[in-house]
Structure 1
């Protein structure tokens, strides 16, 4: 189980790193566009399309698994105070199971949309040229399915119960 947790940590950190690189690439791309447009009166073609169809989608959806693994998603703990440790663990497992089902459902729906867009070769027209955007439809799918895996792993760990060497895992950070 520790090996699976380590793989999950590395995967989620890798996806967060890719999202960070996407954020930096977007920053550079937009900065070059602004400088080029204002100094040389020559905007970088397709900046709006690339930013909205690739960078933003990458930044939003790929790090979902990392957010779930770190347990930094927004939570509401209305009943937590009245539950004991076992009740909290079962409540967290139920929420994790629900999140897994929702993420997997969203992953399935976005998968079918991505396949349709790939099949028809979705593109946007930029100055008379076709910029393919169908690959960006797979980014939400990857983000949702990987987030579902992270929440499923959390449910398994919660139902398994605390172990002696679980002190440094993200699950033990939750009171």
Structure 2
């Protein structure tokens, strides 16, 4: 289990890094496109590049954010609940995420394969293939799903022990 967890962490970090590099390149392409457009020579494909890179940024960061437990959640009730109830809420959140991202992975993979088979591309000035972004979506969803499964195992163990509650330190910090 530890080996799988470390592998997911490394892949998640790599996904975030690749998404960050892609965002950086997309930013420069966008700036260059704006500047060169002022002189009547826009950079063709900058828009299409930024569209595909956004998939990397969003889906590449999902697993890493889950590892850090930094996804947005409403803590109003969570912080008032006891450890066992917090563990139960964590388990329910894991199960909901597994169901949603399992469906997303299933359909995302089917769409990626279909996109590859028809050589789907943008219809702009530069023909930019869409299947890499679709595979990035499927990869990010799969990585996130793996992390959710690992978290579910950990949260079920905490629930069984009755020692759940991941935000005790954060709650103490907020009370100061």
Q: Same fold (TM over 0.5)?
A: yes
Aligned pair count reads 164
Structure 1 stretches of at least 4 aligned residues deviating more than 6 Å after TM superposition: none
**Equivalent residues in 2 for 1:1-175 (5 A)?**
1-38=1-38, 40-52=39-51, 54-81=52-79, 83-127=81-125, 130-161=127-158, 174-175=167-168
Instruction: Give CA-to-partner distance per residue, 1:81-137, whole Å, 9 cap, x none.
Output: 55321221122112112211211111111111111111111112333x633222221
CA contact (8 A) 1:124 1:133 kept: yes
Flag structure 1 segments of 5+ consecutive residues without an equivalent.
163-170
Mapped contact 2:84–2:165 kept (Cα < 8 A): no
Q: Deviations over 1:124-164 (max 9, x none)?
A: 2333x6332222211211111111111111111122239xx
TM, length-normalised to structure 2: 0.82
TM-score by length of 1: 0.82
- Report SS of the residue matched to 1:131: coil
Please give the alpha-carbon distance, in whole angstroms, between the structure 2 residues aligned to 1:151 and 1:48.
33
Given the superposition, is the C-alpha separation of residues 91 and 5 from structure 1 closer, same or farther in structure 2, using an over 3 Å criterion? same
Cα distance in 1 for partners of 2:44, 2:79 equals 55
Q: What root-mean-square deviation, in Å, do the aligned CA atoms of Structure 1 and Structure 2 show? A: 2.2
In 2, are the aligned partners of 1:101 and 1:148 still within 8 Å (CA)?
no
Is the partner of 1:60 in helix, strand or coil?
A: helix
1:75 shift after superposition: 0.8
